[in-house]
Amino acid sequence: MDHLPDCLYCRKDKRLTDLMLEIVPLQVSTLYLFKEQTYRGRCVVAYRDHVNELYELPASELTLFMQDVACAAKAMKTAFNPAKINYGAYSDKLPHLHMHLVPKYVDGPSWGTTFAMMPDPRQLLADADYAALIGQLKQALN
C-alpha cells in the first residue's frame, strides 16, 4: 500500500522531473538543478521527509538541513561565482520543506530585487547544458 503524500518531492514523479534534475543527495536533503535557468545555476534543496516548516524539524535535523543549504550555496559560489545568492522558502502551494537557491549576477535578471519564481519567458537549456551545470556543481561539492 502506498502511504506517500501526493507530493512531487516525496513521489519523485514526472511533476518533479518536469521542473528539476536531481544532482546529489546531501545529509538530510537532495540537491536539484532547477530546469528554468534565467538565474544561471539556480538550485533547490529539498528536505528528505514530508514536513512543511523549519520549526517542525528536531534541532539536529534543522542544523543538518541548514548545513545542506550552506554546502549547496558554497558549491554554487565556487562553480558559478555569482555576486549574491538569494534564498527562498515559500511552500504556499507545495507543502514540503524546500529552499530555492538563486544565484544573482550584477546587471543580470532581477539584480537588486526579488527573483521571479517562474520568469517569463522561461530560460530552458539543452540536455548537454544541464549536464555541464550539474558537473560543475558536483565538482564544487567535492
Among 14, 36, 21, which residue's Cα sits nearest to residue 123?
Answer: 36
CA–CA distance, 59 with 83 (Å, rounded to integer): 31
DSSP code for 21: E
CB atoms within 10 A of CB 88: 14
For position 34, what pLDDT does the model report? 97
CB atoms within 10 A of CB 58: 8
CA–CA distance, 98 with 94 (Å, rounded to integer): 9
For position 63, what pLDDT does the model report? 98
pLDDT (tens digit, 9 = 90+) per residue, 98-116? 999 999 999 999 999 999 9
Question: What are the structural domains, with CATH classification, of the chain?
Answer: 12-141 (3.30.428.10)
| Global confidence as pTM | 0.95
For position 1, what pLDDT does the model report? 46
pLDDT (tens digit, 9 = 90+) per residue, 29-82? 999 999 999 999 999 999 999 999 999 999 999 999 999 999 999 999 999 999
Q: Which helix (H) or strand (E) holds 76?
A: helix 59-80
